[in-house]
Structure 1
Amino acid sequence: MGDQKHMARMLLECSLSDKLCIVSQHQYEIIIIPALLVGTFLIILGVIVWLFIRGKRTQQQSPGLQGSAPVPSTSLNGQVGAQGGSMLVPLKETSVESLLKTSTQALAELQVPREQLSEVLEQICNGSCGAIYRTKMHTGDPAKSKIIVLKALKEPAAFHEVQDFLGRIQFHQYLGKHQNLVQLDGCCTEREPLYMVLEDVAQGDLLGFLWTCRRDIMTMNGLLYDITEKQVYHIGKQVLSALEFLQDKHLFHGDVAARNILIQCDLTAKLCGLGLAYEVHTQGAISSARTIPLKWLAPERLLLRPAGIQGDIWSFGILLYEMVTLGAPPYPEVPPVSILQHLQRGKVMKRPSSCSHTMYSLMKSCWRWKEDSRPSLKELCSRLNTAARTADDEVVLQVPELVVPELYANVAGISVENLSHSYSIL
């Protein structure tokens, strides 16, 4: 009652045209609530602007944005440095000289005397670490001399670059040999320049091989050669064998594609480009600076979720598409930056005219959205074996158009420079 009398007194003291009386009566509703709403709006607006600016900065800092994506810093099933620990040379060494002395002892069984290497070097290309050469290694018996590839570390090299180069050699020593992985035949690390001695796969990468198969006549070692559906399965089974070998060591590849497979004249396939596997094994994570072409990545990778072997299975389906189309870029009608939205709508690539229904069914099983619903490596290998028994080995795969590398790179979301490499072990 006291409050009502006080309010009545206030109203009696005001004229009817005096708006301050109304404001005084309803000051909570008229002033305080709108002020709170405006303040909340400004805070939300500030957060949105901050997120937008941070997103723009992230895009500017990510190389290859138009067709490749940064790989999240995750490891297989959360395992850090699985089975084997760090492959880097111990950090207690403080100079390159002491580092080389320590590593040469650790890599004693791999050392190749430099005098066995021919001085005639044919440069293949420039790799990320330095030049890559093709040359001859002599063993004292001319009949046993062989062509090898030397991967050299650039000079001068910083301490951490020397350490990383030696770590990659040790990683291959840890992996051991497999018929479908590029083999490390030795090294020269007692002094600079440092070399990895690799087996030579003269035919080069599978993508370039497929492009050559588009010609009417193809020759290898003077013999006419074409590729059939049965041979696609033959190459595919070898890639799966290499992936199973990595999985047994708690590793995954991370970038399965025709450009990362080397092919020999007898159609022996050699999986290469093991940089992601090396990073996960040595550091427990993938470098945030590393980018992978978007069109080969599984949805979980595009969403920056943890990488694993199921992502390799998705990419294997893309590899089958590459082989049966003789090196066509995946999703040719979709811009690389729109691939995630395309997949989120439940769309997959249509069956190429050169692709059998059996092979297309295998591809689609690899492209299931949920990782758990995709086949395992063993199941996939079994299905490929079954399909190969009835596959056509007479009809040659044919694609009339020759490839323009610049156009392919634009559609695939890959730089032309990355297409020109013919040898990449790590």
Structure 2
Amino acid sequence: MGGEKGMTRVLLECSLTDKLCVVQEKQYEVIIVPALLVGTFLILLGVILWLFIREQRAQQQQPGLRGTAPIPPSRDLSWEAAGHGGNVVVPLKETSVESFLQTTAPALAKLQVPREQLSEVLEQIYNGSCGAIYRAKMNTGDSAKPKTVVLKALKEPAELHEVQDFLGRIQFYQYLGKHKNLVQLEGCCTESLPLYMVLEDVAQGDLLSFLWTCRRDVMTMDGLLYDLTEKQVYHIGKQVLSALEFLQDKHLFHGDVAARNILIQSDLTAKLCGLGLAYEVHAQGAISSTRTIPLKWLAPERLLLRPAGIRGDVWSFGILLYEMVTLGAPPYPEVPPTSILQYLQRRKIMKRPSSCTHTMYSIMKSCWRWSEDNRPLPRELRLRLEAATRTADDKAVLQVPELVVPELYAAVAGIRVESLSYSYSIL
């Protein structure tokens, strides 16, 4: 109380024109208000810096900064929708690989191929960390007509979870059933070690290598006509879309549609391979692996790590058309792989190649609409290709004079050069 009275006396003794008293009366407002403003600014600045540093660290920790990206979860797929037709992975209740194989034998009994029918290994196609891939002969009962197949072997020794995953992929093929534009499962050898998945052989190889061969000034090689017309591009494209429709009907998507993941036969029958991502969606309801895929084939929502879906495959199909009409050129050749998202965010797309008709380019652009809901579904797109086929040129051969240097292509495309040398690499 004494202090308050003292202050009152001081203020009463001042006149209205006394400047010193005015300053003393308002000094708290002059100091506190600016201090609060400065403090608030510093707090906001600290929060912004913290968010920026956290984002930079997250980007550094993510794989794929050299042209590949991790796979986001699937779009609109619950566990039940993804497991449409039943979960393919048998729960691990056994304590050894041998007992686990005995447990799963009844489910795979109809697929078993007697090992003695696999008479001769012709060549090793690839040898990876998960196992080797071979081309071999399989006896069909007619000794004069042995069948060439591809064997995917599981490495030895294998952990129990690796065996489970390997058998799950075989059961996934069993669930899918047959489609003329998907690589078919011929059978398996899983009753004892070593474990084999037996796939049909598409001897001509992948579409990307075929496109590169079309650049050479050679009309025929091993009886195969190495040239491509606009009409044939549509022919191959329709087959790929038919396979995507098939996957869509089973609540699946492919996730990595590209020329390197399409196998081609001598009659230009196309077979979509690389179904590893589709398997993961079916088995788990989402993609959980750490496998990455090239950025330049991904739709914007995939680059932004949003849920994936069939319309992302449609975007990639537009890139596939570009690959075919340019005879295997890498997409966005002027854009570094790690800058592709910023390029697309500016609503830029690839320019029309000189060998591409306006009709085909219009189809490409419909695939590259930023909003996925504005892109056509595979069936609608296939009908557009069928209409375009009726007026397409079937005489003029697509020509690109430059030969491809794989190392240069890999650098521009943002992929590993090792991935260009073999097929059947996934699943």
TM norm. shorter chain > 0.5: yes
Query: Partner residue of 2:247?
Result: 246
Moved more, 384-393 or 47-56: 47-56
CA contact (8 A) 2:189 2:197 kept: yes
Query: Partner residue of 2:166?
Result: 165
Query: Partner residue of 2:308?
Result: 307
Q: CA deviation at 1:119?
A: 4.3
Cα pair distance change 1:184/1:30, threshold 3 Å: same
Q: Answer yes or no: is 1:179 the counterpart of 2:177.
A: no
RMSD of aligned C-alpha atoms?
2.5
CA contact (8 A) 2:121 2:134 kept: no
Q: Distance in 2 between matches of 1:224 and 1:274?
A: 28
Instruction: Name the SS of the counterpart of 2:135 in structure 1.
Output: strand
Over the matched positions of the two proteins, sequence identity in percent amounts to 77
CA contact (8 A) 1:62 1:289 kept: no
Q: Read off the aligned partner of 2:40 and give its amino acid letter.
A: T
- 1:143-164 alpha-carbon deviations (Å, 9 max, x no partner): 3311111001111111111111
CA contact (8 A) 1:132 1:151 kept: yes
Q: Answer yes or no: is 1:294 the counterpart of 2:302.
A: no
CA contact (8 A) 1:76 1:250 kept: no
Q: CA deviation at 1:313?
A: 0.8
Q: Distance in 2 between matches of 1:402 and 1:370?
A: 36
Q: Read off the aligned partner of 2:314 and give its amino acid letter.
A: I
Cα pair distance change 1:217/1:29, threshold 3 Å: same
Query: Partner residue of 2:61?
Result: 61
Query: Partner residue of 2:378?
Result: 377
Instruction: Name the SS of the counterpart of 2:364 in structure 1.
Output: helix
Q: Read off the aligned partner of 1:30 and give its amino acid letter.
A: I
Q: Read off the aligned partner of 1:57 and give its amino acid letter.
A: R
Instruction: Name the SS of the counterpart of 1:186 in structure 2.
Output: strand
Q: Distance in 2 between matches of 1:219 and 1:125?
A: 27
- 1:300-349 alpha-carbon deviations (Å, 9 max, x no partner): 11222211111111111110010000000111111112212222222211
Q: Read off the aligned partner of 2:421 and give its amino acid letter.
A: S
- Runs of 5+ unmatched residues, structure 1: none
Question: Residues 42-81 of structure 1 correspond to what in structure 2 (within 5 A)?
Answer: 42-72=42-72, 74-80=73-79, 81=82
Q: CA deviation at 1:229?
A: 0.7
- 1:109-163 alpha-carbon deviations (Å, 9 max, x no partner): 0011111112435110124521111111123421331111100111111111111
- 1:340-362 alpha-carbon deviations (Å, 9 max, x no partner): 22222222111111111111111
Moved more, 140-149 or 35-44: 35-44
Q: CA deviation at 1:425?
A: 4.6
Q: Distance in 2 between matches of 1:324 and 1:88?
A: 40
Cα pair distance change 1:165/1:8, threshold 3 Å: farther
Q: Distance in 2 between matches of 1:308 and 1:65?
A: 23
CA contact (8 A) 1:204 1:423 kept: no
Cα pair distance change 1:25/1:173, threshold 3 Å: same
Query: Partner residue of 2:220?
Result: 219
CA contact (8 A) 2:213 2:226 kept: no
Q: Read off the aligned partner of 1:67 and give its amino acid letter.
A: G
Cα pair distance change 1:383/1:162, threshold 3 Å: same
Q: Distance in 2 between matches of 1:215 and 1:104?
A: 49
Q: CA deviation at 1:54?
A: 2.9
CA contact (8 A) 1:104 1:111 kept: no
Q: Distance in 2 between matches of 1:166 and 1:249?
A: 20
- Runs of 5+ unmatched residues, structure 2: none
Q: Distance in 2 between matches of 1:288 and 1:224?
A: 39
Instruction: Name the SS of the counterpart of 2:144 in structure 1.
Output: helix
Query: Partner residue of 1:270?
Result: 271
Q: CA deviation at 1:192?
A: 1.5
- 1:171-198 alpha-carbon deviations (Å, 9 max, x no partner): 1110011100001101111122111001
CA contact (8 A) 2:323 2:330 kept: yes
Q: Read off the aligned partner of 1:129 and give its amino acid letter.
A: C
Moved more, 250-259 or 55-64: 55-64
Instruction: Name the SS of the counterpart of 2:307 in structure 1.
Output: coil
Instruction: Name the SS of the counterpart of 2:393 in structure 1.
Output: coil
Q: Distance in 2 between matches of 1:230 and 1:425?
A: 30
Q: Read off the aligned partner of 2:62 and give its amino acid letter.
A: S
Q: Distance in 2 between matches of 1:233 and 1:325?
A: 14
Q: Distance in 2 between matches of 1:87 and 1:147?
A: 28
Moved more, 321-330 or 365-374: 365-374
Q: CA deviation at 1:58?
A: 2.6
Cα pair distance change 1:25/1:252, threshold 3 Å: same
Q: Distance in 2 between matches of 1:190 and 1:130?
A: 18
Query: Partner residue of 1:141?
Result: 142
Question: Residues 17-416 of structure 1 correspond to what in structure 2 (within 5 A)?
Answer: 25-31=26-32, 33-72=33-72, 74-80=73-79, 81-127=82-128, 129-287=130-288, 289-416=290-417
Q: Read off the aligned partner of 1:77 and give its amino acid letter.
A: D
CA contact (8 A) 1:11 1:21 kept: no
Q: Distance in 2 between matches of 1:142 and 1:372?
A: 54
Cα pair distance change 1:348/1:338, threshold 3 Å: same
Cα pair distance change 1:400/1:4, threshold 3 Å: farther
Q: CA deviation at 1:39?
A: 4.1
Q: Distance in 1 between matches of 2:238 and 2:192?
A: 40
| TM-score, normalising length: structure 1 | 0.92
CA contact (8 A) 2:124 2:134 kept: yes
| TM-score, normalising length: structure 2 | 0.92
Cα pair distance change 1:19/1:97, threshold 3 Å: farther
Q: CA deviation at 1:224?
A: 4.2
Cα pair distance change 1:421/1:50, threshold 3 Å: farther
Q: Distance in 2 between matches of 1:101 and 1:401?
A: 55
